[in-house]
Structure 1
Amino acid sequence: MQGLRRHITRRRLVWLGLFGVTWALSQYSFQIYKALDARWIIRFPSRFQLNLDSAISGFLDWLVNTANFWLFTFRDLTRAIAWVIELPYQFLRNLLIEGFQSGLGQEAVQIAPSLSWIAVIALAVAIGHYARDWGLAALVGACFLYLAVFGQWHSAMITLASVLVAVPIGAAGGLALGILAYRSAWVERLLRPVLDLMQTVPVFAYLVPILILFGFGPVAALVATVIYAMPPMIRVTIMALKGVPEELLEAGRMMGATPRQMTWKVLVPAATPMLMVGVNQVIMLTLNMVIIASMIGAGGLGFDVLASLRKLDIGGGIEAGLAIVVMAIALDRASQAFAERRMTHRRHGSVLQRHPRSAIVLGVIVATFLLGQVIPAVQSYPDAWKISTGPFWSDAMAWINVNFFDTLEAIKTALLKAVLLPVKKFFAGIPWLWGILAAGVIAWRVAGWKMGIVAALMMGFIAASGLWGEAMVTLYLCGVSVFIAVLIGTPLGIWAAQRPGAGRIILGLMDTLQTLPSFVYLIPVVMLFRVGDFSAMIAVVLYALAPAVRYAAHGIREVPPHLLEAGRMAGCTPRQLLWRVKLPLAVPQLLLGLNQTIMLALSMLVITALVGTRDLGQEVYIALTKANAGQGIVAGLSVAFIAIIADRIVHALSDNQKRRLGL
């Protein structure tokens, strides 16, 4: 016992010593630099900096303008990909909103109108009923009716066309790569770091090369969306296939199934419910991408939110953002229902008896097409019937500003002086060489010597790229935001787990926060607090709060009942049961929630570059505005490396805690 105590004491001394040296260097590094006349202590020597940004930009320029693969050029390849993607996208736009035309320009003649708003709602209702029941059908139908009533129909249908193209490509591509990784261990090992980068590199970073390769327009936006939304499908596919019971696989082998038959007749059908969870993730990430993709020509609701943000139109931005939320709710609930749906026997009889929903929808399409020729309101929702909530939101924000300006300003000033500025000074003063060593030591002590070397190399890359100062600002903003999000989210999660009534409200609110597009958070925050680090921090906290709440609630609920009963038999009060039994056993889940909070905070920090932060996100955004692919990729990789280091350290902490608890 004494040996264990000495070991714990030594570990604490190591961490205290590391923090103490880091604090001292951060406070006095400038004085040390002045005394020794050694600028390299503060900034990585310019003559040794990597010039990867110019090399990457030059490579992309060569790829687009010079590369030749004998039979075709790289530009021919990108044009072919664009053509394949544009065909279904343009068809869906014509079907949903624009109608079908013959000819070009002023000579174009419409040969068929688009589906009427009534027909689209009827189709949505039929899908909801087919997926589950009339309750879901009513919810999905009400969501689409909301889009028409509140004047968001045109933009929503453009966004829906993008979703209907991006989701099948992302789901099919993710399924194919997941199957390949399941079949081949070396493919899985190769994909793992690629997926880590795809999920941690900020979206802005690869918008620039995609813009260069595919040009400005909806096709480039769709390519970016697929890249962003595909990784979860690959991971879920690998997990789902590995989770298929061995008995089913053995039965397939005994029946003489070939590898192809084993994949498509045993593995995929058995894993379908889990695979549909992956499809659901692809849908949600696609909708989360619509605003960012609008920066390179996607249009739709995303463009409306972005335009409102640029004009600081609080009402228009919230209206368009709520339309995305409503669409996300409809698609999310429908896809979840398909994941839970069980196969039913086919009905016998006529076509109408076998497919009653399809027959009804077809009848509605034909009826509205004919009636729409004489009654325009049947074809297009009348403007006179539309309702706008924009003035309400604008007036509400103005009222808050007028009545609570002094209070909000006092809160902002207090937090800036007491928290943000001291933490910023701490991180900004860390010398690059000591920062690299400290990152390596922390990773080594928590996750092993291999991760220690990787962490040091990744931080070395950031310093050698000349982005050390920006990286420290990123760490400061992310650290403060994550700390506040966990400080708020963990008690809320515990409350949600302890009180089912409150839990329904809290988790429902978290659902809303998770479906709101990231840009939407910026509009009210900027209106209330103006631009700067404080506004960025508030937006990041709101965006990253949900996983802290969810994982805390899940961890408390998943504590084994027999351990709770043992605590009660030992005479624990409810408070003691929470602090001495539930919370210690929930620590692994709390750490996983911390990990997800960090990931969301880093992804949101790139978005907050629009409100004046001076971190790596700002570097990525500047690269996008200048179409500088090299600068964007280097800054994006720097963000990704910070995310990977944090992810590995927190996962290692979670695994260590599980081993201590015997879980």
Structure 2
Amino acid sequence: MTDGVHNRARPARAPTAGLSGFPSFSAVFWIGLFLVTWALSTWSFALYKTFDARWIIRYPKKLEIPLDTWISNATNWLVEDLNFGFFTFRDVTRFISAIIEAPYDIMRSLLVDGFMIGQGQQAIDVAPPLSWIAIISIAVSLALYAKDRWLAILVGVCFAYLAAFGQWDSAMVTLASVLIAVPIGVAGGLALGIVAYRLPAFERMLRPVLDLMQTVPVFAYLVPILVLFGFGPVAALIATVIYAMPPMVRISTVALHSVPEEVIEAGRMVGCRRGQLMWKVLIPTAMPSLMVGVNQVIMLTLNMVIIASMIGAGGLGYDVLTALRRLDIGGGIEAGLAIVVMAIALDRLSQAFAVRRVRPHLDPQLPFHKRHPVFTLVVAIAVFTTLAGAYLPAFREYPARLTLTTGTFWNSTIEWINVNFFDSIEAVKTVLLNVLLLPVKRFFTGIPWAWGIVVVGLAAARICGWKLGVMAAAMTFFIAASGLWREAMTTVYLCSVSVLIASVIGIPLGIWAGQNPRANSVIGAMIDTLQTLPSFVYLIPVVMLFRVGDFSAMIAVVLYALAPAVRYAAHGIRSVDEELIEAGKVSGCTSRQILWRIKLPLAAPSLLLGLNQTIMLAISMLVITALVGTRDLGQEVYIALTKANIGQGIVAGLSVAFIAIIADRVVTALARSSQQKLGLT
């Protein structure tokens, strides 16, 4: 038995040589493909000069697909000319805006502005907003209802932080957006998930749409939303819902498919009709999984608040964006930390509701205030403090004289680092640029577009099969034919270098965390912080330390994309069967041999999945790093946003999405192949 286990744990032999001593076909294929690509990349410019053939390095301008012009013209026709008889397309967008704007205005009035009649100077206050004490009390009571006093303390401290550090008004504007966007995203995602569950053909049709929604950069669909719905919070809410809905759709479909068949049969036996079976059997059974989807919608909504502020969302996101433009590191980090604090509170609350158990009902004969003492107390606090706020400002708003700030500390810290470590930072930056970044950039940007299409198609076909190979080649041709080949190769170069560095740092940290509980607690806290920080927050200290350019973009991407490399590596190491480890010890393996011969080979599928997620996060962050001077597809998308050029934004966004989809399919296929070789499927 020990030998059998030991053999199972042994990693697959690399296909470097056949029985005759010659390299295998697979090795020859990959080596040959790389050498030809390297040679063409190195000599492509010389070939262009020698043969006076510019088409070698750039897709012919006359043959480019003018998709951006077609899209822009179609959008202009929609907005200006489309008429349904009784109403126009613009009337439809205004109707949608009105439906979303009404509850948003009510929520914002409740949390921030108060209720008024009239506009401008003729406006009359009707009712004040909830006091800061009332909102904190409501949040604490929700935590107490969902779990216990410890969660209530955590949530109370988080909301008190927002008040104490002067972020309350902006935080409430953001919270108003979240409280509107999340229900819309959850309801829409659940509805689509139900339809996909009932109609397999619809699920197959929906899958590529969800892939595009999750891989197209946010900036790309901010442009059409800006044109269709104008500048303001409604457009920001619509963009947020589009960004946050896909995980809810996927999780809803999977959760409904995961309901045991016995439960469904029991529902049918008691006479449930189709609708009753869905709402009284399937959804209640799948509720814990569905709450995970709700949690994802909340987190993605908070991740979107800064980007949405570019088209009028306001709130904490606008504060971070303004700080980035002013290079105000203290203000930016404080506003970013406020988003993190709010994310922690809402994340823990949603997780608690996901696992909350049904509690027994109290005696209905008891008075209401005895059955619900906490609710009664919170209502009393809310009414008293809100009414008292009309006469005592301290009840309505947190006293300004008691406000704390860490802005000076962050500014001084960055200044001290720049003064004392400038030469060291520049030396490291120069070495990495000359040794890694510039050679990799020359390699990718030198690849001729025609050979790039061929090599992507061949590599994808070899790993994923000929169908995906054709798809990958077609997507690569689209990028070249859109005139974005050089920008796309710059994106690939930045992504490759960032993912390489993130993996080199993250995988060893994950392995350490997977084997050492104390290290796991420290590294886990660090990764939690990195994951909850909004993406824009990374740019502020990076720009202050390294200025603008590819190196700054790479550092920001590495920090943002590091988390999955660590988490999946730790998960893979912890998931190795203890019996296999014991078998290795019995066989006389040292700790190092157990790691290299048992744990790492068996953790390979998890490592590849972590690589997949690292690539996805790196690509999404690269679009945001366009703000620090990169010259890639992200910059094209950002320029399109500033010019409200729908066609340019969508074409560049689709190019980014196609790169992400190709990488996702290839890495997923490698992970599946690794699982099959290890017998883990």
Q: Find out whether 1:122 has 2:143 as its counterpart.
A: no
Q: In 2, are the aligned partners of 1:548 and 1:594 still within 8 Å (CA)?
A: yes
Give the residue type in structure 2 aligned to 1:648.
R
CA distance in 2, matches of 1:369, 1:164: 20
CA distance in 2, matches of 1:505, 1:590: 21
Q: Find out whether 1:374 has 2:394 as its counterpart.
A: no
The Cα offsets for residues 495-541 of structure 1, whole Å up to 9 and x where unpaired, read as 11111111011011111111100000000000000000000000000
After superposition, where does 1:312-323 map in structure 2 within 5 Å? 312-323=327-338
Q: C-alpha displacement at 1:369, in angstroms? A: 2.4
The alignment's TM-score, normalised by the length of structure 2, stands at 0.96
Alignment partner for residue 42 of structure 1, among 52, 57, 61?
Answer: 57
The Cα offsets for residues 377-403 of structure 1, whole Å up to 9 and x where unpaired, read as 111111101011111111111010000
Q: Find out whether 1:150 has 2:165 as its counterpart.
A: yes
Alignment partner for residue 453 of structure 2, among 436, 439, 452?
Answer: 436
Q: Find out whether 1:454 has 2:471 as its counterpart.
A: yes
Give the residue type in structure 2 aligned to 1:498.
Q
Q: In 1, are the aligned partners of 2:115 and 2:126 still within 8 Å (CA)?
A: yes
**What is the SS of the residue equivalent to 1:344?**
coil
Alignment partner for residue 97 of structure 1, among 95, 108, 112?
Answer: 112
CA distance in 2, matches of 1:565, 1:8: 36
Aligned to 2:433: 416
The Cα offsets for residues 60-114 of structure 1, whole Å up to 9 and x where unpaired, read as 1111111122332111111111111011111111000111111211011111110
Q: C-alpha displacement at 1:211, in angstroms? A: 0.2
Q: Find out whether 1:325 has 2:336 as its counterpart.
A: no
The Cα offsets for residues 245-275 of structure 1, whole Å up to 9 and x where unpaired, read as 1110111111221111111011100000000
**What is the SS of the residue equivalent to 2:514?**
helix
Q: C-alpha displacement at 1:121, in angstroms? A: 0.4
Q: In 1, are the aligned partners of 2:128 and 2:390 still within 8 Å (CA)?
A: no
CA distance in 2, matches of 1:229, 1:150: 28
Identical amino acids, percent of aligned pairs: 67
Aligned to 1:209: 224
**What is the SS of the residue equivalent to 1:624?**
helix
Aligned to 1:303: 318
Q: C-alpha displacement at 1:655, in angstroms? A: 0.4
CA distance in 1, matches of 2:22, 2:63: 41
After superposition, where does 1:169-184 map in structure 2 within 5 Å? 169-184=184-199
Aligned to 1:505: 522
Q: C-alpha displacement at 1:612, in angstroms? A: 0.4
Give the residue type in structure 2 aligned to 1:469.
R
Relative distance call for 1:3 and 1:412 in structure 2 (3 A) is: closer
Aligned to 1:621: 638
Aligned to 2:616: 599
**What is the SS of the residue equivalent to 1:101?**
strand
CA distance in 1, matches of 2:454, 2:527: 38
Q: Find out whether 1:13 has 2:28 as its counterpart.
A: yes
Relative distance call for 1:8 and 1:194 in structure 2 (3 A) is: farther
Give the residue type in structure 2 aligned to 1:16.
I
Q: Find out whether 1:257 has 2:257 as its counterpart.
A: no
Aligned to 1:465: 482
Aligned to 2:41: 26
Q: In 1, are the aligned partners of 2:251 and 2:290 still within 8 Å (CA)?
A: yes
After superposition, where does 1:277-426 map in structure 2 within 5 Å? 277-348=292-363, 349-426=366-443
Give the residue type in structure 2 aligned to 1:158.
V
Q: C-alpha displacement at 1:7, in angstroms? A: 9.4
CA distance in 1, matches of 2:22, 2:113: 71
Q: In 1, are the aligned partners of 2:487 and 2:631 still within 8 Å (CA)?
A: yes
Q: C-alpha displacement at 1:4, in angstroms? A: 7.1
Q: Find out whether 1:134 has 2:156 as its counterpart.
A: no
Q: Which structure 2 segments of 5+ residues have no match?
A: 1-12
After superposition, where does 1:562-641 map in structure 2 within 5 Å? 562-641=579-658
Give the residue type in structure 2 aligned to 1:502.
A
CA distance in 1, matches of 2:178, 2:22: 55
**What is the SS of the residue equivalent to 2:362?**
coil
Give the residue type in structure 1 aligned to 2:59.
F
Q: C-alpha displacement at 1:355, in angstroms? A: 2.3
Q: Find out whether 1:488 has 2:490 as its counterpart.
A: no
Q: In 1, are the aligned partners of 2:216 and 2:657 still within 8 Å (CA)?
A: yes
Alignment partner for residue 546 of structure 1, among 563, 577, 595?
Answer: 563
Q: Comparing 439-448 with 33-42, which one deviates more in the overlay? A: 33-42
CA distance in 2, matches of 1:136, 1:242: 32
Aligned to 1:85: 100
Give the residue type in structure 1 aligned to 2:45.
F
The Cα offsets for residues 220-254 of structure 1, whole Å up to 9 and x where unpaired, read as 00000000000000000011111111110111111
Q: C-alpha displacement at 1:553, in angstroms? A: 0.4
Q: C-alpha displacement at 1:284, in angstroms? A: 0.4
Q: C-alpha displacement at 1:5, in angstroms? A: 8.1
Q: Comparing 105-114 with 152-161, which one deviates more in the overlay? A: 105-114
Give the residue type in structure 2 aligned to 1:418.
V
CA distance in 2, matches of 1:106, 1:149: 31
Q: C-alpha displacement at 1:3, in angstroms? A: 5.6
Give the residue type in structure 2 aligned to 1:627.
A
After superposition, where does 1:218-229 map in structure 2 within 5 Å? 218-229=233-244
Q: C-alpha displacement at 1:152, in angstroms? A: 0.2
CA distance in 2, matches of 1:139, 1:533: 39
Q: In 2, are the aligned partners of 1:347 and 1:353 still within 8 Å (CA)?
A: no
CA distance in 1, matches of 2:614, 2:20: 33
**What is the SS of the residue equivalent to 2:116?**
strand
Q: Find out whether 1:108 has 2:123 as its counterpart.
A: yes
Q: C-alpha displacement at 1:13, in angstroms? A: 1.1
- The two structures, once aligned, show a CA RMSD in angstroms of 1.1
Q: Give the number of aligned pairs.
A: 663
The Cα offsets for residues 120-161 of structure 1, whole Å up to 9 and x where unpaired, read as 000010011111100000000100000000000000000000
Q: In 1, are the aligned partners of 2:226 and 2:311 still within 8 Å (CA)?
A: yes
Q: C-alpha displacement at 1:373, in angstroms? A: 3.2
**What is the SS of the residue equivalent to 1:72?**
coil
Give the residue type in structure 2 aligned to 1:458.
M
CA distance in 2, matches of 1:365, 1:466: 59
**What is the SS of the residue equivalent to 2:86?**
coil
CA distance in 2, matches of 1:623, 1:89: 28
Q: C-alpha displacement at 1:215, in angstroms? A: 0.2
Q: Comparing 336-345 with 652-661, which one deviates more in the overlay? A: 336-345
Give the residue type in structure 1 aligned to 2:434.
K
Q: In 1, are the aligned partners of 2:18 and 2:24 still within 8 Å (CA)?
A: no
Give the residue type in structure 1 aligned to 2:112.
I
Alignment partner for residue 248 of structure 1, among 263, 287, 294?
Answer: 263
Q: C-alpha displacement at 1:330, in angstroms? A: 0.3
